[in-house]
Amino acid sequence: MRILVTGGAGFIGSHLSERLVAEGHEVVALDNFFTGHRENVAHLLSNPRFELIRHDVTFPFHIEADRIYNLACPASPVHYQFNPVKTIKTSIVGMLHCLELAKETHARVLQASTSEVYGDPTVHPQPETYWGNVNPIGPRACYDEGKRCAEALMVDFHRQERVEIRIARIFNTYGPRMSFGDGRVVSNFIVQALRGDDLTVYGDGKQTRSFAFVDDLVAGLVGLMEHPSFEGPINLGNPGEFTMIELAEEVIRLTGSRSKITFKPLPTDDPKQRQPDIGRARALFGFEPKTVLRDGLTRTIEDFRARMR
pLDDT digit string, tens, across residues 155-201: 999 999 999 999 999 999 999 999 988 888 999 999 999 999 999 99
Query: What residue ranges in the chain does DSSP mark as E strands?
Result: 2-6, 26-31, 50-54, 67-70, 108-114, 165-170, 173-174, 199-202, 208-210, 212-213, 234-236, 241-243, 261-264
The fold of 2-174+212-239+273-289 is Rossmann fold (3.40.50)
Mean pLDDT confidence for 278-292: 97
**How far, in Å, CA of 145 to CA of 134, rounded?**
8
Rounded Cα distance, 172 and 120, in Å: 14
pLDDT the model gives residue 269? 74
Mean pLDDT along residues 289-308: 96
Active-site positions read 143
Does position 74 have pLDDT exceeding 90, yes or no?
no
DSSP 203: T
State the pLDDT confidence band at 77, using cuts at 50, 70 and 90: confident
DSSP state of 100: H
Global pTM reads 0.94
pLDDT for residue 255: 97
| 297 pLDDT tier (thresholds 50, 70, 90) | very high
Cβ partners under 8 Å of residue 61, min gap 6 = 30, 55, 97, 101
In angstroms, rounded to a whole number, what is the distance separating the alpha carbons of residues 267 and 181?
17
Sorted by where each begins, the domain ranges of the chain are: 2-174+212-239+273-289
Q: Which residues pair with 31 in a beta bridge?
A: 54
Strand partners, 167: 111
Q: What is the pLDDT of residues 78-106, one digit of tens each?
A: 878 889 999 999 999 999 999 999 999 99
